[in-house]
Amino acid sequence: MGIGNVSERRLAPPQVGISVVILALAPDRDESGRGRLWLPLVRRVRQPYLGMWALPGGGLAADRTLERSAYAALESTTSLHPRYLEQLYTFGGPDRSRGGLPMVSIVYWALVGQAETKDLVEADNVRWFPEDELPELAFDHRRIIDYALWRLRNKIEYPDVAVRLVGETFTLGQLHDVYEAITGESIDLANFRRRMLASGELEDTGAKQRVGRHRPAAVYRYVSPPAGPADGERRDLWNPAQWASEPTPDAGRDGPHGRRPDAREDADALSALAR
């Protein structure tokens, strides 16, 4: 039996679900020739927000871990199974449900390479969108995506980021495409090559790779970073303990699109599963 009035609903235990942000480097380029990040969205076929686009998501089950629930949500909507998922943030608060049942969403995110996206195949009510041309989204999913992009752009110098998008080995041109896609800005290729080669972070594998009609280019990989305090300012992107000092999505900071995240602006970030 449902809970009737607003006061009862606000005092009820919150419902908890999973949402997933998948960011992929696609071969598609914008008008300036830059590579772009794409992400899959699901069109809702039920209320609330019937017909609107939302992040893949789903509920929790007693026999599944949080990570397994995130994988299940992806597999049932996009057929994706990224090699790695990381918990991004938990979105909650009494104002998110707009008088409905309290809602909490545990959000996972992942960076995937082109091979994992299966050429961005779309099926049924699933569609891929470039991150700079997103439609109007259900719930507060735009705020969630903005936060994921903001975090990614603040981690661009970490080798883990590029490796997850371009692979363990790459040409400098491919790495340049990753940086342009993440920043959303044009980066002079010659200056980029000089800076990366002078950084001491890359090593030549000795292999060559032909990309398009260009002559074969040298293939590089990242040198394994030193462990421990000697690593200086570099931190592990995938270690949540390193994020404690960073602002939260509700801390009043501008997001990557110049939007100030607002805890009151939308409803819950729960299930976008369209069954």
Separation of alpha carbons 118 and 24, rounded Å: 11
| pLDDT band of 198, cuts 50, 70, 90 | very high
139 and 23 within one domain: yes
211 and 168 within one domain: yes
Separation of alpha carbons 217 and 211, rounded Å: 8
| pLDDT band of 261, cuts 50, 70, 90 | very low
Average pLDDT, the chain: 77
Percent helix, percent strand, percent coil in the chain, to nearest 5: 25, 25, 50
The maximal CA–CA distance of the chain, rounded, in angstroms, is 69
Separation of alpha carbons 173 and 228, rounded Å: 31
Position 275 pLDDT exceeds 50: no
- Say if 253 falls within a structural domain: no
Which tens digits make up the pLDDT trace of 78-117?
Answer: 878 888 899 999 987 666 555 556 678 999 999 987 656 6
163 and 100 within one domain: no
165 and 132 within one domain: no
Instruction: Kindly provide the residue ranges of all beta strands, DSSP E only, lying in the chain, ordered along the sequence.
Output: 15-29, 35-43, 53-54, 57-59, 86-91, 103-112, 126-130, 202-209, 217-222
Most confident of 5-19, 24-38, 199-213: 199-213
What single-letter DSSP state applies at residue 248?
P
Average pLDDT over residues 210-232: 71
Separation of alpha carbons 5 and 11, rounded Å: 10
Distance of CA 187 to the CA centre of its chain: 22
Position 235 pLDDT exceeds 50: no
Position 233 pLDDT exceeds 90: no
- Dihedral class, residue 73 (left if φ above 0, else alpha if ψ from -120 to 50, else beta): alpha
Q: Please spell the DSSP secondary structure of 23-51, one letter per residue.
A: EEEEEEE-TTS-EEEEEEEEE--SSSSTT
Question: Which residue has better confidence, 230 or 97?
Answer: 97
SS3 104: strand
SS3 252: coil
Q: How far is CA 98 from CA 22, 95, 154, 169, in A?
A: 27, 6, 32, 48
Question: Which residue has better confidence, 213 or 210?
Answer: 210
| Percent of the chain at pLDDT exceeding 90 | 39
- Say if 272 falls within a structural domain: no
Average pLDDT over residues 254-275: 37
Amino acid making up residue 215: R
CA dihedral 245, 184, 89, 242 (to 10 degrees): -30
- pTM more than 0.85: no
Q: How far is CA 174 from CA 48, 83, 156, 212, 270, in A?
A: 41, 21, 15, 12, 36
Separation of alpha carbons 149 and 188, rounded Å: 22
Q: Read off the tokens for 8.
A: 């009862």
121 and 187 within one domain: no
Position 10 pLDDT exceeds 50: yes
Total domain count, the chain = 2
- Say if 260 falls within a structural domain: no
Which tens digits make up the pLDDT trace of 16-61?
Answer: 899 999 999 876 665 666 788 999 999 988 877 889 999 999 888 8
Quote the pLDDT of residue 47: 79
Residue 185 near residue 261 (C-beta atoms within 8 A): no
Give the range of the structural domain holding residue 147, as residue numbers without chain letter: 6-153
Position 184 pLDDT exceeds 90: no
207 and 98 within one domain: no
147 and 81 within one domain: yes
Which tens digits make up the pLDDT trace of 120-141?
Answer: 566 778 999 999 999 999 888 9
164 and 110 within one domain: no
